[in-house]
Amino acid sequence: MTLIKSISGIRGTIGGSTGDTLNPLDIVKFTSAYATFIRRSKQSSSNTIVVGRDARISGEMVKNVVCGTLMGIGYDVLDIGLATTPTTELAVRMSGAAGGLILTASHNPRHWNALKLLNHEGEFLTKDDGNEVLALAEKEDFEYADVDHLGKYTADSTFDKRHIESVLALKLVDVEAIKNAHFKVAVDTVNSVGGVILPHLFEALGVEYTLLNGEPNGDFAHNPEPLEKNLGDIMTEVAKGGYDLGVVVDPDVDRLVFICEDGKMYGEEYTLVSVADYVLEHTPGNTVSNLSSTRALRDVTEKYGCQYAAAAVGEVNVTTKMKAVNAVIGGEGNGGVIYPESHYGRDALVGIALFLSLLAHKGCKVSELRASYPNYFIAKNRIDLTPSTDVDAILEKVKEMFKDEQVTDIDGVKIDFPDKWVHLRKSNTEPIIRVYSEAATMEEADAIGKKLMQVVYDMQ
């Protein structure tokens, strides 16, 4: 089955039979459930829902079904066209809409698409709200509008410009310093909406750029997840020389990865670490990342005498924790930067502008900047289980075994040793335990991860 229903929305492969893939009938059902939830929650008096999409091949079809369904249930649609996830989030807030739907499967391959659900603040739904949407979809408890109360459709392509203007207006984005640095960058936008908006951002910042995979046709030139194994072309391009750095985003532009001037990976975990370093230097405060992110953020935070807090994996969990501890910066180790001065959502445009501000102030090479941070390596493993395995009981036993260490159990079990950590968490979609571990070398990280894996195997 490739139809995955979760609190953050619905995603799946295009085509196939109903209930098993992302097809028009299921799109209608889940869009109706979402619109019904928004109506009943009465969190906003607005009758408008924003719709934005990435450049996937299926995007036009999905958008038409979604917009027609929203109008059929009585909502006015504000279609902002090809737009990044953070642009759509900001558009909800800027337009005072009741909610928003982002049509993107993020880093999934070209044959996937998804509906991501936003509240009236332009933020992802909470767990309780997401579960309510799923329950409504299950019951198909919808009421559609009569002919006199159908929603209206409006297209508005101005939000890219408004998004960029909001980024340039941030106090810590030093536009003048960036322009004076005369940066030259290579940019891989993997044939999606980054190719639409990032050229305008770089032009506004006075950055010379070379665009790779810039045509937003949804026919991704490589696996769209911004990991080193997928980024050979831009790494080779930057290694030729003449560039200050490489910039890579995923199809919906909420993840951000850098390439050093020598063509080597900066490290996706260090996107947030670097931006946080810059933010904390100028506005000290708390920071947050999820439990599976690098310890380097904690180290940088404590360098400024501030406090770091960990959240469960998932963007909504990170933003909830950020609000609880009044964090000035946060995000995820996959290249996701969340800067509350802008909005509570991962935003690669904000990340780019803050990183370039940092680089302009430092006046150093990107590789030199990377070398200035604590060096950690994360190993990622998995334990395959039978469907009948009691994963919760296993994790409880692991927790008991390591009770003398620092243990966090808000999302699986994370064990913090003095110089390393291991995080075991149950997958929500398959019978496995994900095992992430971090240490000063990849060998140490893999070794401690496998040690914990053996502990679990011995329990079965």
Catalytic center residues: 106
- Residues with Cβ within 8 Å of 281's Cβ and at least 6 positions away in sequence, in order, are 304
Residue with tokens 């001065």: 341
Query: How do 153-155 and 76-82 pair as beta strands?
Result: parallel
Give dist(CA 62, CA 15) in Å, integer: 11
Check: CB of residue 47 under 8 Å from CB of residue 12. Answer: no
Give dist(CA 312, CA 307) in Å, integer: 17
Distances (CA, A) of 145 to 41, 65, 141, 150: 18, 16, 14, 6
DSSP string, 110-168: TTEEEEEEE-TTSSBPPHHHHHHHHHHHHHT------GGG---EEE---HHHHHHHHHH
Give dist(CA 210, CA 230) in Å, integer: 19
Give dist(CA 42, CA 38) in Å, integer: 7
Judged by DSSP in three states, 236 sits in helix
Distance, CA of 345 to chain centre: 8
DSSP string, 362-411: HTS-HHHHHHTS---EEEEEEEE--TT--HHHHHHHHHHHTTTSEEE-SS
For residue 412, with 0-12 CB atoms within 10 Å meaning exposed, 13-18 middle and 19 or more buried, which class applies? buried
Half-sphere exposure of 282 (CA within 13 A, CB side): 14
Half-sphere exposure of 409 (CA within 13 A, CB side): 13
Give dist(CA 318, CA 288) in Å, integer: 7
Please state, as a whole number, how many other Cβ atoms lie within 10 Å of the Cβ of residue 289. Answer: 31
